[in-house]
Structure 1
Amino acid sequence: MPPSGFTDHHSGHAPSRLPSLTGMRFVAAFTVFAVHVLLTPIFADRSLQMFPAPGETAMLLWQTGFMGVSFFFILSGFVLTWSVRPGQSTRGFWLRRFFKIYPNHLLTLVAATVLLGGVSQMPLDLTAGVLNALLVHSFFPQMEIWTAFNSVSWSLSNEAFFYLLFPLLWLAVGRIRPERLWRWAGVVVGVIFTVPLVAPLLFADGPWDPLTRSPYLEFWFTSKFPPVRLLEFVFGMILARIVLTGRKVPLNLGAWLLVTAVVFFVAPYLPLTYPQVAAMVVPLGMTIATGARADLAGRRTWLAGRPMVWLGEISFAFYMCHLLVLNYGHMLLGGGSWDTPAALGIVALLFLASLAVAWLMYTLVEKPVMRFVRSRRAARTAEPAAAAEPVAVSSSG
């Protein structure tokens, strides 16, 4: 049975706002946008194309997609742990998470269905559609399932799995003694680094995936399968407790951003499936932890500025809509390839269009839904308080 509510294991309550981390969210979303640009044949330059064979520059930039998604998974565990408050109910937590992610997912799923069936005239797979609607599609290794419709939603399938387990995970992570948190962080990272070694033993002699330069089933297992990606989420949870309990964090945000950049260029040359997740997990996690420490200390970073915070607020909507805008925007513009200067202009145009759609989704869907959820929560909290007040008795008559 899941716990009925959350127990506070923090040493005091943390401020709820982490503006630097909000700004980082958009940087991560943009890296995924950049990868999907390469999957759209906008550039005539062969080195910037992924098909029919990946060019050298494209292969290096391909790493940004892995980095962006890994960042989101670690950040999700970090932020949810950061925001735990004593007494909040498990049911209330699940409802808030559902209303946070599902309306945008449903909207883009419907849009993808209309565009695929109506514009592209492609046959629609009912089974894939149902699994997608239920957010369980990343559990299935078949590419035609986890990439169906709005293919970026595979990561949302992982997030839904994380949210489902979070109350139980909190029972364990919340009880780790502060002096042992770094030890447990190391254990989780060690398991993440073991996954690429185990994958070939589980999936021997599978078909080769030229994009990831690894057997396809190993690629799916290490980069899509929710129980495996749960490790990054748990790493983020432990890092949040490290910061909340005042444990020492080595280096600062600037240093870890530099380390992240260095590892990014080294990762594609690592063996097996290490480039997909394991290589980047420590620098990304430490970037998040040091960003939170900077916010706690009141140090202003460029990531915490108003423009980046606004972009971070619409980053989920941007992530959910950008691939549809890229694919069908490219089709609307003729579906061709352009020389690099013109292609960059097309990319900028599609980026701005994605931002505009994301802003509309955030303003008209995401924000009103969350405002409604908060108002309902406040009303339920106020009812018991009102019932507990003494009844006023008139002295007249």
Structure 2
Amino acid sequence: MRTSRQVATIDWLQAFRGLAALFVVITHAGWTMAQPSSQEIAWGLLAHGALGVDLFFVISGFIMYLTTRGCDGSARYAAEFGIKRFARIWPLFFVVSMVYLCIAWWRAEQFPADYFSRTLGQLVFYPVSPKASEFFGLPVDVAWTLCFEAYFYAVIAVSLLSRKSRWWIVAALLAPGLALYPLLKQQLNLSFYHQPAIILNHYLNLMVNPMVWEFILGLFAGWVYTSAWSTPPRPLAIAFILASAAAFITIPNTHIPTLYGPTIEYGGLTVFAIFLMLALASKSMELPAARPLVWLGTMSYSIYLTHKLGFLGAAQINAWLDIRNGDARDWIGFGIYLACGVAMGALFHHTVETPLSAWTRRKLMGLLGKPGRPEFADTEIKPV
């Protein structure tokens, strides 16, 4: 019984990851459509898939809470945490960054020195600009989210040096940027785009950006999920599922799509509510998780980071097909972009992410000496 319960928990979480990745690819593929009727659908419906980013952030906080419940306050525990997160994120990021650099070099027909400089900054998660609306100008444009991920991981890693006071440490590290600074500037809000920029250092703008609240919401969801009192009776679990479905349907009314996508002040809060209700429902009943979504979930990071490389191949296929009818060209092209984006993610997941992450983790763990506690992946959530 224990095994089946654990597998079910992994499945619903992986399905959420798969949905988040698929939503992002759908949004970006929709932007390639040119006909007015197609663009209306792309902006009126498909653009809401940008909320996949908000979902990724909430899931990240949720996983951080659940996978660090065994924190013993030791430096080794914090080091192991840092190694696992680094090995999960950076190796694939490095390879993809080099691919983008090679493409830029080939297109420029000479070494792109400025692009190379920005790539180096990207690899240390340095925001390209202090202005939030320009975070998306990194060489790998979708990598702006990794800047936030790296910041949040750093905060969690520091907090792991204390077992009893770790959440007070998290609060002390996050409060200056999310509460004190906006109050001093008299601009306390949840807008991703309207926080006052800090020119002194680009990293500081990660600390004050309201998107960090989505990680905190994920942490809160983890705390509620692991609490004994939070197991709902089956009728209430069913009500949560129905309410989640209703909330999902209302997203076109609660989310205002923009060119950049994530908006915690609108759809991000809806995404959190949906996630929390389904997480609680999963404690009382097994949530059905479509196997394709679970499959996509295992590759979600690769899909997110590399799908635009797949779009390069999709553009060539569309040019080769040379479909003359505009509407048909848009929708057939949309399907090709979607398929190529997912296929590229699958390719990188199996050939680069999985073997390179495992090798990096093994080598870095070896530097710590004698193995510590048994490892488990960030999706292997223990039953609660």
Note the alpha carbon deviations across 1:14-46, whole angstroms, 9 max, x for none: 958431121111211122112212333xx3412
Aligned to 2:87: 99
Aligned to 1:30: 22
TM-score by length of 2: 0.72
Note the alpha carbon deviations across 1:37-69, whole angstroms, 9 max, x for none: 2333xx3412434xxxxxx43332464254111
Aligned to 1:147: 137
Structure showing greater Rg: 1
Q: CA offset at residue 232 of structure 1?
A: 0.8
Aligned to 2:336: 349
Q: Look up the equivalent residue of 2:27 and give its one-letter code.
A: V
Aligned to 2:154: 164
Paired residue for 1:19, among 11, 29, 44? Answer: 11
| Correspondences of 1:81-100 after superposition (within 5 Å) | 81-84=65-68, 85-87=70-72, 89-100=77-88
Q: CA offset at residue 107 of structure 1?
A: 1.5
Q: Is the 8 A contact 1:18 1:295 kept in 2?
A: no
| Residue 189 of structure 2 is aligned to residue 195 of structure 1 | yes
SS of residue matched to 2:17? helix
Q: Look up the equivalent residue of 1:313 and give its one-letter code.
A: T
- Gapped regions of structure 1 (runs ≥ 5): 1-13, 50-55, 177-186, 204-216, 386-397
Distance across 2 between alignment mates of 1:316 and 1:201: 28
- Gapped regions of structure 2 (runs ≥ 5): 169-177, 374-384
Greater shift in the superposed pair: 291-300 or 354-363: 291-300
Q: CA offset at residue 173 of structure 1?
A: 8.9
Distance across 2 between alignment mates of 1:246 and 1:320: 37
Q: Look up the equivalent residue of 1:299 and give its one-letter code.
A: E
SS of residue matched to 1:140? coil
SS of residue matched to 2:256? helix
| Correspondences of 1:302-313 after superposition (within 5 Å) | 304-313=289-298
| Residue 238 of structure 2 is aligned to residue 244 of structure 1 | no
Q: CA RMSD in A?
A: 4.1
TM-score by length of 1: 0.70
Q: CA offset at residue 230 of structure 1?
A: 1.3
Distance across 1 between alignment mates of 2:63 and 2:153: 12
The percent identity for this pair of structures is: 18
Q: Is the 8 A contact 2:66 2:222 kept in 1?
A: yes
Q: Look up the equivalent residue of 1:27 and give its one-letter code.
A: L
Aligned to 1:182: none
Note the alpha carbon deviations across 1:104-159, whole angstroms, 9 max, x for none: 21111111111222146595533322211211225633877742322011111111
Greater shift in the superposed pair: 24-33 or 374-383: 374-383
| Residue 208 of structure 2 is aligned to residue 235 of structure 1 | no
- Check 1:144–1:75 CA distance in 2 against 1; reply closer, same or farther (3 A cut): closer
Distance across 2 between alignment mates of 1:173 and 1:239: 19
Q: Look up the equivalent residue of 1:297 and give its one-letter code.
A: S
| Residue 61 of structure 2 is aligned to residue 71 of structure 1 | no
- Check 1:200–1:120 CA distance in 2 against 1; reply closer, same or farther (3 A cut): same
| Correspondences of 1:46-57 after superposition (within 5 Å) | 46-49=36-39, 56-57=40-41
Q: Look up the equivalent residue of 1:162 and give its one-letter code.
A: F
Distance across 2 between alignment mates of 1:36 and 1:288: 23
Corresponding pairs, count: 331
| Residue 318 of structure 2 is aligned to residue 330 of structure 1 | no
Distance across 2 between alignment mates of 1:332 and 1:93: 43
Distance across 2 between alignment mates of 1:31 and 1:236: 19
